[in-house]
Amino acid sequence: MTIPNNKETIKKLFSLRGDKTLWAIFFILTAISLIEVYSATSTLTYASGNIYKPILGHAINLLVGFFCIFIFHNIPCRWFKFWMPAWVVFVAMLFFLLIFGTKVNDGARWIDIMGIRFQPSEFAKGSLVVIVAFILSAYQTKKGTDRHAFKYIIIITFITCFLIFLENFSTAGILFIVVLLMMYFGRIPLKQLGKLLLWLIVGVLALIILAKVLTTEALVEKVPLLHRLTNFTARIDRFTGSKVKEADSTKQLTEKDFDIRKEPQVGHAHIAIAKSNIIGCGPGNSRERDFLPQAYSDFIFAIIIEELGLLPAALIVLLYIMILFRASRIANRCKGSFPAFVILGLAMLIVVQAAVNMSVAVGLIPVTGQPLPLISRGGSSIMVTSIYFGMMISISRFAKKRLPEDNAPQPAGDAEEATPTVVNEEEFQK
């Protein structure tokens, strides 16, 4: 009879196992976050009168995030199917949010429960990705995904995105893009995807026209949620208007062409980037952090460019690209299609959101209000992103490795075999 070695058991329990690249990216992003959020929270420091209070709160959020990633990276990926029943709970919370949610920046996105405030939409995103991955894996055939999978995915996605869309356009848009990409990589027939895109374009144009027609003060006050639609179109108008003025390089801009008091976020973000002088002014030396609203959240990438310069900012972009690259490598080595689709979906959630945040900061797209994953200040965002990282690392540990003789994709109805236990973790990591 073999007596178990307690020391070895404890060592394995508390060791950081799984994909080392994803672990490294997590720690690098959180280290950058500590430095830049500490610098960018000058307005919060002034308001609180305590120089350490804002950064201590952020450090606690990062510690909670580390706890989440540590817990989830030890959970075998076959258990992630339990996210699917949780979707019902998150959808119920989104319904509750429309009526009783705490409004922030004219949007009801937060729920307060016993003093704990969080965004249900952040958790709903992950549960939807798991459901879509399960449906895609269950309907895989040798010729592609069965066409019936499309309608189930659309029904679940429409319910989730619609509830989020009513108060948070950008989050719903990001989630829909990720689901669309998952369906493309899941080999949903292109004819079905083409029809979906056509209807989507028609729907967006109809919403914009509707907002233009109904933008009267009386209607905005009477019709529920119409204020969010008018805000959405107003941001597009400001963005397209500013781009037209920038295109006219022969005209000398005046204060009337761009009133920084009306658009302080865009104006001070551009000033911060211009002040970087390529090499940056150094950590903690930002000036625009005192004038830029949400400098520690939505526009932290502009502060990073101002303080660290273009090269470190480019390296941050590379880190997010590496998340997607590493996830695709792990997915390609998974024998089952379920963990492969899950890790791709979670990676795309992180990377697409990061791309949107950075594009807003440098003026490529209109203002959306999306935080930079693992860098921006925020409890719900850090916790959920850490959970995504933990799930991806768990898949790198526990998903069965594809052997040369295995054929992909898995046959239809093979969803149960899509999440087997680990065969050889050390070989899987190479």
In tens, the pLDDT along 295-353 reads 888 889 999 999 998 999 999 999 999 999 999 999 999 888 899 999 999 999 999 99
What single-letter amino acid sits at 414? D
Q: Among residues of the chain, what percentage have pLDDT more than 90?
A: 34
Cα–Cα distance, 321 to 316 (Å, whole number): 9
Q: What is the pLDDT of residue 428?
A: 43
Q: What is the pLDDT of residue 338?
A: 92
| pLDDT for residue 409 is more than 60 | no
| pLDDT for residue 94 is more than 80 | yes
| pLDDT for residue 169 is more than 90 | no
Q: What is the pLDDT of residue 393?
A: 95
pTM: 0.83
**C-beta of residue 193 within 8 angstroms of C-beta of residue 201:** no
Tens-place pLDDT, residues 242-275 = 554 555 545 565 555 566 666 777 888 888 888 8
Question: Could you tell me the residue ranges of all domains in the chain?
Answer: 17-241+260-429
Task: Write the Ramachandran bin of 278: left for phi over 0, alpha for psi from -120 to 50, otherwise beta.
Answer: left
How much is the average pLDDT of 410-430?
42
Q: What is the pLDDT of residue 73?
A: 92
Cα–Cα distance, 270 to 288 (Å, whole number): 10
| Mean pLDDT (the chain, rounded) | 80
Q: Which range has the worst mean pLDDT, 60-69, 224-233, 383-392?
A: 224-233
Q: How far is CA 72 from CA 18, 104, 195, 383, in A?
A: 11, 30, 38, 11
Q: What is the pLDDT of residue 283?
A: 85
By CB atoms closer than 10 A (0-12, 13-18, 19+), residue 17 is middle
